[in-house]
Amino acid sequence: ACSLLHSPKGFPKLKNDTFLRAARGEQTEHTPVWCMRQAGRYLPEFRETRASQDFFATCRSPKLCCELTLQPLRRFPLDAAIIFSDILVVPQALGMEIVMVPGKGPTFTEPLKEVEDLLKLRQKVDVTAELGYVFQAITLTRHSLEGKVPLIGFSGAPWTLMSYMIEGGGSTTMAKAKSWLYRHPEASHRLLRLLADVIIDYLVGQVAAGAQALQLFESHAGHLGPELFQDFALPYIRDIAQAVKSKLKEEALPLVPMIIFAKDAHYALRDLAHAGYEVVGLDWTIRPQEARAQIGKDVTLQGNLDPCALYAPKEKIGELVKKMLESFGTQRYIANLGHGLYPDMNPEHVGAFVEAVHAHSRHINKH
């Protein structure tokens, strides 16, 4: 299905808008469901498609991104697709080099060590020149979906990207990146501002290319406490929502729903509820009722089944989903996991999760 023959616009009519309706707070017949990392290594067909390719070469191939995005939708009746890409394409656009090291994950060849290293970064990024391959993948995928479900675009948030750029890869403590926040607050803000500006243009470009919703991943929020989050994460999260919306208006582009997912940021739920996003994504460490109490009735919640629950027998998955739906309520809610799918998960259990959300939410809505 993924050929580049289609005209760039004139997208197929959307057949299932349940996810978009829930994001906007409209009534839905069933609770929509999708999974973070749904295009991923838990699928044998994903491993096959990716086998011979370097990871970032895959990200730069619109045809492969399209194929990988569609794979889970061929198996499961998911209510949304999320474009196959990676949050680290933004640091690449700033001129940083990243390699995928087997068994270790993404690794920066030269992480930022000193404040002077900020001068090595591109200060003005032309997102179409640097990230146009993502835009092409979105346009191609939007056509290839044939209106089946909406397509979500995404980006990493500034603090999460900054932490990778300084740590040079994954880290359990983020001590190097956090030390910048304490030792070099001004330089940290310069870097975060630079990232935010690129992210804003990148997200607007994704909508221009055909993305129908956007998710911002603040995956490393849990490494910050309330004060650091308030100073170094929240202002940029707010600013991104505001700036993206005003640019979409200026460019007469659709005002798409935006989702903020700040992992482990329970201390910031009230702030996130007022940060300008239609949807707040939750990890599995938060009680649904408490999240709803803090976030209020005007924002849609997304989440938050423990991904490891998918290791349970299928009947148990059904019970856990039912309990989750009863806790969140079936409206103003998008079912998801509290984090991404893990590579060793059984696809059949993912299917059981998706089907349980549909079946139980329909049943609850009827009664």
**From 21, 50, 60, 292, active-site residue:** 50
**CB-based contact 302:334 (threshold 8 Å):** yes
Q: Characterise 324 by phi-psi region: left (phi > 0), alpha (psi -120 to 50), beta (else).
A: alpha
- Residue 142 annotated in active site: no
- Residue 75 annotated in active site: no
**From 24, 75, 86, 306, active-site residue:** 86
In whole angstroms, what is the distance from residue 279 CA to residue 284 CA? 16
Other beta carbons within 10 angstroms of residue 123's beta carbon come to: 11
From 70, 27, 20, 24, select the one nearest 45 (Cα to Cα).
70
- Residue 50 annotated in active site: yes
In whole angstroms, what is the distance from residue 37 CA to residue 342 CA? 8
Residue-by-residue DSSP string for 192-229 = HHHHHHHHHHHHHHHHHHT-SEEEEEETTGGGS-HHHI
**From 164, 202, 236, 277, active-site residue:** 164
DSSP character at residue 53? S
**From 41, 75, 190, 193, active-site residue:** 41
Query: Active-site residues: which are they?
Result: 37, 41, 50, 86, 164
